[in-house]
Structures are given as structure tokens and as C-alpha cells.
Amino acid sequence: MSILEVTGVGKGFRGLRALSDVDFRVDQGEILGIIGPNGAGKTTLFNVVCGAIAPDTGTVTFGGRDVTGAKPHRIARAGMVRTFQLMRPFASMTVQENVALAAQHERLPARRLRDGSMEIVERVGLGDWAHRPATELPTAGLKRLELARALAMKPRVLLLDEVLAGLVPSEREPVLDLLADLREQDGTTLLFIEHIMAAVMRLSDRVLVLDQGRVLATGSAEEVTSDPRVIEAYLGEEPGDAEA
Ligand SMILES: Nc1ncnc2c1ncn2[C@@H]1O[C@H](COP(=O)(O)OP(=O)(O)OP(=O)(O)O)[C@@H](O)[C@H]1O
Ligand SMILES: [Mg+2]
């Protein structure tokens, strides 16, 4: 059964069609990679799916319920959680406190909140940083913290917006392992926007290609990356954007 169904979604910003008639489904436990040139509408799609912006047309169904236009916190509490392309942790708090804050909606007793958040901090590999101010984290650490904060919401569906951007290859590996583990161990459904093709190839069961707000292709990573229309869409991009 599809856990997420997007039907006929369109969104315009003044004259610009950021999304046009976007249709796709994601099965429970599936990993869907989302690729496309800069400005294709990938982040806008996440914004619509998670309730940050209401679409002009179309519907978003999560777990069989229509959540189109629902408030982001409601969608998050229902189990669909996203990470942000730009990370903004609470500067005055430690890494662990930042994660605890994200878990707070569960109204857990203080001790369980602390233990639970510590477990997540360790799971993302930030154990040594737990009690240091979040502002001291380097980029790779901030990315992990962003992931940890999303995990603290116990997502059934997790949407990741370029979690690997700005990481060197050796820093990407543990994050990819963690994402694979989330599906294997926790059964989490993942949608991930990513420019790093090696990661898309390794992780995705299926890939959705967006171009100029439209779904250009869907299929296995091999299928879409050998599709002439997809190659065409990427022509004129900065070489680094489709980094191997
Ligand atoms: N709030 C907004 N107001 C006006 N235009 C917007 C807004 N958000 C996005 N856009 C425009 O919509 C288009 C799609 O943007 P979006 O951020 O979704 O692209 P993207 O595929 O995530 O790109 P990137 O790979 O660079 O992150 C772009 O032309 C962008 O400038
Ligand atoms: Mg984006």
C-alpha cells in the first residue's frame, strides 16, 4: 500500500510555475530518490508535502488521509517529518538539548526525554559532541544534528533535503549507512533529494526526476540516468551539481 500519494500537485509563485501536475506514490518502507536540476521544484515539493506551503491544485494523501494544506506540525506529529536544506539549530543549546527539544511534543518525563535524545545523538554519530554547544559543530555535524532532530520526531516517512551536501566523501558514508539502517531496522520510508549521484544510485529503490516543476521520469536509478530526456535536462548544469 502507498503510504504517500501526491496527485495533480501544482504550485505557482507569481508568474513562475514551480510545480505542475506532479503525480507519484511511495510505498511503505520504500526509498525514493528525487533528482533534478537546480530550481526544478524539489524543495517546493517537500514544502507542499509537509504542509509548509499549500498547493494551488492537487492533493497529498499520507497514510490514507488527505493532508493537503494541513499545518506542518500536524503532519509531523502524524509521522511525516522533513529536514531542511539550511540547518538552524538553537545556538544557546547543546547538541543533545537541541534533539530533546525536537522530541518534546511527546511530553515524556525529563529522564526519558534525556535518555531518548542521547540515544539518537549517538545513533547519528554525535556522541562526543552531545554536551557541547550546537554552534561549535562543523558542517558535517550540523547535518547530523538536523537528521537527529528529525529522528526525534519518530518519523514513519522521512524527507531529506540534500543531507549530504557540503560533506566530503568520507563523511557521507556513515550518513548513507544510517539511512539504509533506518529502513532496515525501523522500516522508515525515505524520500531524499540529492545531487550526489553515487548516493542516489546506492540508496534508491526508485528515482523521481523533476525538471521545471514536472515529473520528467521515474524508474530505477539506472533507468533514469540513462534516459536521454534526463541527460538533456542536466545539460548546462554546473558539473559539480551532478557530481558522481
Ligand atoms: N517562496 C518562493 N517564492 C518565489 N519563488 C520561489 C519560492 N520558493 C521557490 N521558488 C522558485 O521556485 C523554483 C523551484 O525552487 P526549488 O527551491 O523548489 O528548487 P530545487 O529543485 O529545490 O532547487 P535546488 O536544487 O537549487 O535546491 C525556483 O525557480 C525558485 O526560485
Ligand atoms: Mg532545493
Tell me, yes or no, whether 135 lies in a domain: no
Q: Which ligand is nearest to the CA of 35?
A: 1
Q: pLDDT confidence of 244, banded at 50, 70, 90? A: very low
pLDDT digits (tens, 9 = 90+) for 175-215: 999 999 999 999 999 999 999 999 999 999 999 999 999 99
Residue 85 CA: which ligand 1 atom is closest?
27
Question: With contact defined as beta carbons under 8 Å apart, do 158 and 182 qualify?
Answer: yes
In this structure, the residue with its CA closest to atom 16 of ligand 1 is: 41
Domain boundaries, position 77 = 2-84+156-242
**Alpha-carbon span 184 to 193, nearest angstrom:** 20
- Give the side-chain half-sphere CA count within 13 A for 50: 26
Residue 44 CA: which ligand 1 atom is closest?
18
Residue whose entry in the numeric block shows the C-alpha cell 488527505 = 66
pLDDT digits (tens, 9 = 90+) for 34-65: 999 999 999 999 999 999 999 999 999 999 99
User: Edge-to-edge, what's the strand order for the sheet holding 31-35?
Assistant: 80-82, 157-161, 189-193, 31-35, 206-211, 214-219
In the reported structure, the alpha carbon of residue 35 is separated from the centroid of ligand 1 by a whole-number distance in angstroms of: 14
In this structure, the residue with its CA closest to atom 2 of ligand 1 is: 13
In this structure, the residue with its CA closest to atom 31 of ligand 1 is: 39
Ligand 1 pocket check for 124: Cβ under 6 Å: no
Tell me, yes or no, whether 102 lies in a domain: no
Ligand 1 pocket check for 18: Cβ under 6 Å: yes
Task: Say how many Å lie between the first and final Cα of the chain, rounded.
Answer: 33
Helix (H, G, I), strand (E, B) or coil at 6: strand
Say which CATH number the domain at 178 has: 3.40.50.300
Tell me, yes or no, whether 117 lies in a domain: no
Interhelix angle for 110-123 vs 139-151, to 10°? 130
Q: How far is CA 47 from CA 76, 83, 242, in A?
A: 12, 11, 23
Question: With contact defined as beta carbons under 8 Å apart, do 209 and 35 qualify?
Answer: yes
In the reported structure, the alpha carbon of residue 46 is separated from the centroid of ligand 2 by a whole-number distance in angstroms of: 9
Tell me, yes or no, whether 42 lies in a domain: yes
In this structure, the residue with its CA closest to atom 4 of ligand 1 is: 13
Residue 195 CA: which ligand 1 atom is closest?
25
| Residue 195 CB neighbour total at 10 angstroms | 20
Domain count, the chain: 1
Tell me, yes or no, whether 24 lies in a domain: yes
Ligand 1 pocket check for 38: Cβ under 6 Å: yes
Tell me, yes or no, whether 147 lies in a domain: no
Tell me, yes or no, whether 210 lies in a domain: yes
**Alpha-carbon span 213 to 18, nearest angstrom:** 5
In this structure, the residue with its CA closest to atom 29 of ligand 1 is: 39
Residue whose entry in the numeric block shows the C-alpha cell 503532519 = 75
Identity of the amino acid at 117: S
**Alpha-carbon span 244 to 202, nearest angstrom:** 11
Ligand 1 pocket check for 43: Cβ under 6 Å: yes
| pLDDT score, position 237 | 66
pLDDT digits (tens, 9 = 90+) for 87-127: 778 888 999 999 999 888 777 888 889 999 999 999 999 99
In this structure, the residue with its CA closest to atom 28 of ligand 1 is: 39
Ligand 1 pocket check for 47: Cβ under 6 Å: no
**Alpha-carbon span 131 to 137, nearest angstrom:** 11
Tell me, yes or no, whether 89 lies in a domain: no
